[in-house]
Structure formats: structure tokens, C-alpha cells
Amino acid sequence: MPDAIEVRKVPIHSVADASEMAKLIDDGTLHADRVIAIIGKTEGNGGVNDYTRIIADRAFREVLVEKGAPAEQVKDVPIVWSGGTDGVISPHATIFATVPPEDVTPSDDKRLSVGYAMSEVLLPEDIGRSGMITKVAAAVEVAMERAGITDVADVHYVQTKTPLLTLSTIADAKSRGETVFTEDTLHSMDVSNGGTALGIAVALGEIEMPDDSEVLKDRGLFSSVASCSSGVELDRAQVVVVGNAHGVGGRYRIGHSVMDDALDADGIWDAIRDAGLDLPERPRTADLDGRLVNVFLKCETSSDGKVRGRRNAMLDDSDVHWHRQIKAAVGGVTAAVTGDPAVFVSVSAAHQGPEGGGPVAAIVDLG
């Protein structure tokens, strides 16, 4: 049986700051050697060359080692950073740690459980193709098993980090006589995220195995729990499965829903309800009463250039990429619901939730 989970959200005061996690370890809220995953937002540009992710990664790993976690163990902790805090989104990290058995709050109800796995190496020619989909699906199954989750309906959030394509990896593929999905490195972020999401959907039985020709083409194929991020810092898929399991105990529970479009605040409220909070029909931020730990969203500009029938210019804007614009817009909607700008809103949601919308996961503290 997996251990119970403690989960806390902390602000990041500068790019290389992990002081708030250090405080939680110092006061005994978390144990450094029991931290099993970190998911956060950094303040870089969110693009191929967003090195704030690497800086933040190093800062958090260094604190874990400084506070007593074995260095070899810390190397394997999945730390997933989504770059770009456009608009009101505030840099922060959500930290997941196991709880010593003697400190567990018992519960026979389903409570938060987390599992982690790494896929086989993803070659440049795999990205956005069946090679990626099958390797990611296999890793999701391993992570589910480690979380003690046997029913796919109990999986509410799958956060991944995968490699995107760079000039050097494209050249590597060509040197071996292989082709790649795209030679546009920024577009490869969408390709990597989309292929990964399809792998998650296959693993959870949301879709059948798709053809390569359907990747980024058939937006009717999607996962309602996938949150996929990509970057230059790894060559495999890092997979964190978050769900609920019987018998693990603890105070926390997770739920999910989808936003049907960029303005769908009700989709966020539905995820919070699904996590277990009893809310009125027309909820307000005050109804959360400090029990919401965090929400995790993916967003995407609708390919028709419209929101609720109204035209926007995001896809035509040559000055500011649509990635940044939609992230800022959905971040504002989300912060208006939660009352807290430290929300995890990530862009490039191909095959993650419905066209023009995206998946939402919410973790709540049931006490």
C-alpha cells in the first residue's frame, strides 16, 4: 500500500528561490527524503530557450540535498516546471511528499495518492508519433501501479514532462537516416505535448491507439486528465499520476473536469466539486474557505480564432505568440475563481481536453 500524501503550495520569490520549501522542511511539515514530486510555474518565456526551468530545478534539488535527502534519491525526484507566468499568474511550486505512517490521518475513503515513472528514451523520430504514444502509455501504467490505483476512473491528473525537438536532436535523427515530425522547434512543443497526451489517453482507455496521421489533426481525440509539458532538460517522459486510492489515508483528495473554452469558469468549479468540496449552486471564492490546495489547467487557443462566437486576433498576432496570450487569459479566469494568482496554468493543450478548452484538476484539503 502506498504511503499517504502531504501536499503544499509555496511561492517562489525569485528564479532560484526554494526558501519556502526549506521552511516547510525545517518546521517538520515535510521531510526532505520523503518529497516524491514537485510541479510548478517559473517566470521565464515558456519557450524552447526558457532556462528558468533548469535554474528552478537545480534550486529545489539543492535544498532537498541540503536538508538531508540522499543526492542519488533526489536525482530521481520528478520535478516538472511549466515556464511562463504571463498576466497575473504567480511563480509557485506544489510539493508532494509521503507522510510517515505514524503521522497518517486514517481514512477508509479514497484519498490522494501519487505514482511516478520514467518512460523509455524518446528518440527525436518518436516525438509526435506512435513510438512516443506507446512509450508514454507504458509509463502511465507503471505510475498507476505505484500509486496503488487499479481503476482508471480514479486517475484525475497526469502531469508529464517530455523532450521537444531542438536543432541538435533534429540533426541527430537525420544523421541516422530518420525523419522528424517537424523542424520548427517551437511547434515541436505542441507536437510533444500532443503525442504525450494521446499516450495518456490510450493508457487510461479514453481512446483507441491512434494513427500517426491523427496527431495534431483529429482534436476529437483527447484525454480529460492529461497535463503535458515539454522542454530541453530530459530525453524521456517523466510521468506523475495523481489520483485517489482506498486505504492510503491522509487529508487530501483530487478531482477533475474540463473547461469547454477559455472562459469556462464553471469547469474549474466542477473540478473542485469533483475533488470533494460541497459547494453551493452558484459558488464564490469565499466558499472555498482555504480548503483548495491548487488547481492545474492546460489551455489552448481555439483553431477557429473565436471564443463563444466572438473573433479574436491571437492566432494572427506576430508580436506576441498565442501561447502567452491564452495563458494570461485563462490564468486570469482561474485566479478569479480561486482568489489566488498562484495557479498552475500551462499552454499547448493539443489532445488535452476539448478543442479550445482544456483539462482541470483540483486538490482539496478535507481535514
DSSP string, 34-58: GEEEEEEEESS-SSTT-THHHHHHH
Cα–Cα dist 83/202, whole Å: 27
What b/e sequence results for 55-86 when a residue is b if at least 16 CB atoms lie within 10 Å of its CB, and e otherwise? bbbebbbebbeebebeeeebeebbbbbbbbbb
Is 161 designated active site? yes
Backbone angles phi, psi at 129, to 5 degrees: -130, 180
Give me 34's grid cell.
520523503
The DSSP line for 290-316 is: T-EEEEEEEE---TTSEETTEE--GGG
What DSSP string runs through 183-238? S-TTHHHHHHHHHHHHHHHHHTTSSPPPPGGGTTT-TT--BSSEEEEEESS-SEEE
Of 161, 223, 227, 346, the catalytic one is 161
Q: Please, are residues 202 and 26 in contact by the beta-carbon 8 Å criterion? A: no
Secondary structure E strands in the chain = 5-11, 35-42, 79-83, 92-98, 111-121, 155-163, 226-231, 236-245, 252-259, 292-299, 306-307, 310-311, 344-347, 358-365
Give 37's strand partners.
96
Torsion of Cα atoms, 270 then 271 then 276 then 277, to 10°: -60
Number of residues that make up the chain: 367
Calpha distance 347→229 (Å, rounded): 8
Annotated catalytic, 119? no
Residue 11 bridge partners (DSSP): 92
How far apart, in whole angstroms, are the C-alpha atoms of residue 84 and residue 79?
16
Catalytic residue (choose from 224, 229, 230, 302): 229
Q: Write the single-letter amino acid at 213.
A: S
Residues annotated as part of the active site: 161, 229
